[in-house]
Copies of this chain bind each other. A is one copy, B any other.
Amino acid sequence: MTKVLQEHLMKFLEDKNLIIVSNRGPVEFSRDNGKIFMKRGAGGLVSTILPLVERFEGVWVSSAMTLEDAEVALGYPENRVPVPLDDPKFNVSFVVVDREVYEDYYSVISNPLLWFLQHYMWNTPYGPDIDERIYDAWDKGYVHVNREFASRVIQEVDKNDKEPLIMLQDYHLYLCPGFIKKEMPEVFLSHFIHIPWPQRDYFKILPEGMRDAIMEGLLSNRILGFHIDRYCNNFLECCEDSGYDVDYEERSVIRDGERTFVKSYPISIDPESIYRTANSHLAMEKEDLVKRLKGDMFLIYRTDRADLSKNIIRGFKAYELFLREHPEFHGRVKFLATGKPTRQQIREYREYMDKISEPVDDINRRYGNEEWKPVEYICRADYELVAAAFKRYDCLLVNPIADGMNIVPKEASLINEEDGLIILSKNAGCYEELSDDVIGVNPFDVKETADALYYAVKADMAERKKRVQGLREKVVKRTIYNWINEQFNDFKKLI
């Protein structure tokens, strides 16, 4: 616990009512054999913040994602579920809405509309078509759910004598701070955005009314966090474009006489948790599979949700080009890719899933033979397998066309045992921190990525060791605890 937070911040939080607000919550309920089970969420955010919420008896406001979430929630007054049920340490306050409302909020507006916008991913001659369907989803879905979240938060503030400290998360909840502030003008609000922020020309794809609403919401926060300075600056320029008074020196925006500070807090990882996973029995077992696949070959590895931002197809095209240009490496390299389908209720994501298999099949058909299968694509969510592959890769490929941070290089370099190199997109947020010790590529440049693969297979051990050493030093020096402490320190200054 002390590991997580500096001593003076522990004191600061003692008399605070800590309210975390995010679409996906820290726990999820599901049913097995008729009985309802609770599962903790994975990921650094939950594993870092949850102990704080528990320690300070805070509350987490989040969407009911499953039928069982809703069922459990509706069994408690105000959908306020004590967690764990048998020995409560904190509460989850569930926002429960109708399925169609949730779909409008999540699968129309949050994704693809906002997600595509913030990752420069719209095929602009054809999409988005901002028609009455989108406006409807905005009003009945996004606005409505944001209001529901705000109501829950207001309820939690009212419930508790302690001073509220509200931490909103991400792009699903842009309007929520505005709705809260309208009811409670004095309350302290902060918001962290985990994805990129686009430049003003591109942001203007959104209708002015939606942009204004988003700005009004976000500028209701006292602190607005992004991963890197570039996103902060892009956001400030959008604010100026919307007519707000921007102080670029201080990185802040003035609205109705109040100031929102726009700051970067690059997220990182929890090293202990990575080591633990890597050394788990299950990961050890999976390592056998990875070793078998690898044989005595040079292992190129990637792992991503099948999101269009992850640039999986160009990764395979680059590998194909590498194989075409360097036949001497046929039979001596293996490309292992793991990843799970994501957001399959959205057409663009289903199409992308379909298209990923094309280059994989093409490469295996064109270059493979009985002894050698150039690409292995394992399409499932299996974090222990990922950890096992992290240990054994010779080269990790992380080439998103845009990515808020991407913590894969940070996790992977910590536990890799082969002095593996990392090829990293210059458009991943983490490139700003790691550029010295990775092979940086333009994600659109298939040729450069193919050349980077060639560079990686040819690199000598001295270089590999030096780079992996450099990466590890950076990663252990800045963990997710820095991320959380920096934010609380800034909150403390302003409260």
| Interface, chain A (partner B; CB < 8 A) | 120-121, 123-126, 128-132, 134-135, 198-202, 204-208, 230, 234, 308-309, 311, 313-314, 317, 321, 325, 352, 355, 401, 426-427, 442, 444-448
Residue from A123, A135, A308, A325 whose CB has the most chain B CB atoms within 10 Å: A123
Counted per complex, copies of this chain come to: 2
A124 / chain B contacts, CB cutoff of 8 Å: 120-121, 401, 444
- Please, could you name 29 A-B residue pairs with CB atoms under 8 Å apart, sorted by A? A121-B125, A123-B126, A125-B309, A125-B311, A125-B401, A126-B313, A128-B444, A129-B314, A129-B317, A129-B444, A129-B446, A130-B445, A130-B446, A130-B448, A131-B446, A132-B325, A132-B447, A199-B202, A201-B202, A201-B230, A201-B234, A202-B202, A204-B427, A204-B442, A205-B442, A207-B445, A207-B447, A207-B448, A208-B442
List 14 additional contacts besides A129-B317, A130-B447, A199-B200; criterion CB under 8 Å.
A125-B309, A126-B313, A126-B355, A129-B314, A129-B446, A130-B442, A130-B446, A131-B446, A132-B325, A199-B199, A199-B202, A201-B234, A202-B202, A207-B447
A314 / chain B contacts, CB cutoff of 8 Å: 129
A201 / chain B contacts, CB cutoff of 8 Å: 120, 198-199, 202, 230, 234
A124-B401, A125-B309, A401-B124 are contacts. A130–B199 as well, Cβ < 8 Å? no
Q: Evaluate contact between A131 and B442: CB separation under 8 angstroms.
A: no
Query: Bound state CA distance, A355 and B126, in angstroms?
Result: 10
A389 to chain B, nearest CB (A): 24
A-B residue pairs, 4 tightest by C-beta:
A123-B123, A125-B308, A199-B199, A131-B446
Query: Bound state CA distance, A128 and B444, in angstroms?
Result: 7
A442 / chain B contacts, CB cutoff of 8 Å: 130, 204-205, 207-208
Q: Evaluate contact between A205 and B444: CB separation under 8 angstroms.
A: yes
A120 / chain B contacts, CB cutoff of 8 Å: 124, 201-202
A447 / chain B contacts, CB cutoff of 8 Å: 130-132, 134-135, 207
A134 / chain B contacts, CB cutoff of 8 Å: 447
A208 / chain B contacts, CB cutoff of 8 Å: 442
A43 to chain B, nearest CB (A): 24
Residue from A134, A234, A317, A446 whose CB has the most chain B CB atoms within 10 Å: A446
A205 / chain B contacts, CB cutoff of 8 Å: 442, 444
A200 / chain B contacts, CB cutoff of 8 Å: 199
Neighbour of A131 across the interface among B121, B125, B204, B317, CB < 8 A = B317
User: Which residue of the partner chain B has the closest CB to A314?
Assistant: B129
A352 / chain B contacts, CB cutoff of 8 Å: 125
Residue from A124, A355, A446 whose CB has the most chain B CB atoms within 10 Å: A124
Q: Evaluate contact between B309 and A130: CB separation under 8 angstroms.
A: no
